[in-house]
Amino acid sequence: MLTKFSVLGFKGFSKKVTLNLLNTNDYQYNKNLIQNKIVKNSILFGKNASGKSNLGFAIFDIVLTLTNKYQNVGKYYQNYLNLEIKRDYAEFEYTFQFDDMMIEYIYYKKDYDTVPVYEKLIVNHETVLEYHFQDLEHLFIKIEDTESLNWEYFDNMSMINYLASRLPKIKNHPIHLLMDFVNSMLWIKKDESIGIKYHNNELNDIILRKNKLKNFETFLKNNHINYHLEDMNLGNHHIIGIRFKDAVVPFFTLISTGTNDLWLFYSWRIWLEQANVKFLFIDEFDVNYHFDLAESVVKELNSTPNLQTILSTHNTYLMSNKITRPDCTFIVSPKRVVSLSNATNKELQEAHNIEKLYRGGHFEN
C-alpha cells in the first residue's frame, strides 16, 4: 500500500507537499478504512484550484515513469514544472509498505514524458540504488542479482524499469514488488483513465457479460432508481433494456446523466475486481451525483477488500463520520495536505458534525 507521498516543483506545488497515510488515530468507528495502521480509504477536499486534481496527477506520475500504461495524458501534464520557483525538475517521493518491507522511491523529472534525471531506492531504511543523470558512472547499486547484469542495452529509460526487465522474478524482490504495485494503479475521471489499460467496449457490456444485470438493478434500487432491467437482444448484440409493461426501451436512451454515471461506476466496479486494481484514484467522482448517491458510492468503495482508494470532491456533505473519519479526510491546498485530525487542536469525536465544524472555520488549511 502507498503510505506516504511528497511532491515539489510540479505544476502548482511551489512548496513540498506531503500526503501522509500513516498518521492515523485510534478512532473506534469505521475501522475498515484503516488497514495495518495505513489509511486504506481517503477523501480529498479543497476549494477550486486548491490542487486536488494536481495531487492525483503527481501521484500517478510514477505510472508514466515506470510503465507505458497511459494514453493522451499530455493535456493533464501541461506546464509540468512549477512556474514560481526556478527548478529544472520536479521531485517525487513515494513510500510503500508491503508486509514487512518498506520501499521508498525518489526521483526527479523535467517533464511527464522524459526519464528521471535522478533515482533513489531505499529498502527498510537502507539505500540500495542511487543513480544520477543517465550516467552509469554515477550508479550506486546494492541489489541482489545485479552483479552480472549486461548494461549494453541500457539507454534512455528509468533504472527501475530496466532492472525490472532484467532481474529474475523472485518472490518479495523489492524491484518487482514496486513494479507490481505501480502496474496495479488506476486513475479515472468519468471515462478517462491513467494506469491499467482497458478497452472502451469492455465497460459497454460488462454487466451483461458478467451476468450482473439483476445485481445492477438492485444497486440502482438501493439508490432510489426503480427500473426493471432486461437483457435486450438486438440480433447481432445485446444491450441493457428497461421494461415498461409491454415495451422494452434501451437503457441509455432514457437515463439521466446521474444514472449514467452510476452505470459507469458499477461497470468500473466489476472491472476493478477482474483487473486486480490495488490503488484507485477517482477525480471529482461525484460531480453528477446527488448527496445520497455520492455517499452510497463511497460506502461501496470502502467495503471493497484489497483496494486502496483516494477520492477527490467538493462535496462537504461527505465530510461525515457516518462514512469516513477525520484521519482519513484531507484538506488540500497548494501549500499542504493535512488530515482533519491534524488541522485542529480540537479533540474530534464520532458525535461531532464534522461538516459544520469545517464550515465554521475550525480546520486550518
pLDDT higher than 90, residue 280: yes
Q: What is the pLDDT of residues 162-198, one digit of tens each?
A: 999 889 888 889 999 999 999 999 998 877 888 887 6
Average pLDDT, the chain: 90
pLDDT of residue 140: 93
pLDDT of residue 199: 60
Q: Using the structure block, give the residue that is written with the C-alpha cell 515513469.
A: 65
Q: Residue 54 is which amino acid?
A: N
**Closest to 44 (Cα-Cα) out of 322, 357, 262, 282:** 282
Residue 71 pLDDT exceeds 80: no
* CA-based R_g, the chain, Å: 22
The residues spanned by each domain of the chain are: 2-196+277-286+304-359, 197-275
How far apart CA 304 and CA 11 sit, in angstroms, is 32
Average pLDDT over residues 251-261: 88
**Structure confidence by residue, pLDDT tens digits, 78-116:** 999 999 998 899 999 999 999 999 999 999 999 999 999
Using pLDDT thresholds of 50, 70 and 90, give the confidence band for residue 22: very high
How open is the CA angle 100-102-108, to the nearest 5 degrees?
A: 165
Give the per-residue pLDDT at 314. Answer: 87
Residue 188's Cβ-count burial label (10 Å; 0-12, 13-18, 19+) is buried
Q: Would you say residue 117 has pLDDT above 90? A: yes
> Cα 182 to chain center, whole Å?
11
Cβ atoms < 10 Å from Cβ of 253: 9
Q: Give the pLDDT score at 115.
A: 92
- Residue % of the chain over a pLDDT of 90: 58
Superfamily of domain 2-196+277-286+304-359: P-loop containing nucleotide triphosphate hydrolases (3.40.50.300)
pLDDT exceeds 80 at position 265: yes
Tell me the pTM: 0.91
8-17, 128-137, 299-308, 335-344, range with the lowest pLDDT = 128-137
Please determine, for residue 150, whether its predicted confidence score (pLDDT) is greater than 70: yes
As a whole number of angstroms, the distance between CA 296 and CA 314 comes to 16
Structure confidence at residue 201 (pLDDT): 64
- Identify the top-confidence range among 61-65, 156-160, 344-348, 353-357: 61-65
Q: Is the pLDDT of residue 203 over 80?
A: no
Q: Are strands 337-339 and 329-332 parallel, antiparallel or unpaired?
A: antiparallel
Q: Which of the four pLDDT bands, split at 50, 70 and 90, describes residue 154?
A: confident
Neighbouring CB atoms inside 10 A of 157's CB total 15
Which conformational region is residue 118 in: left (phi greater than 0), alpha (psi within -120 to 50 degrees), or beta? beta
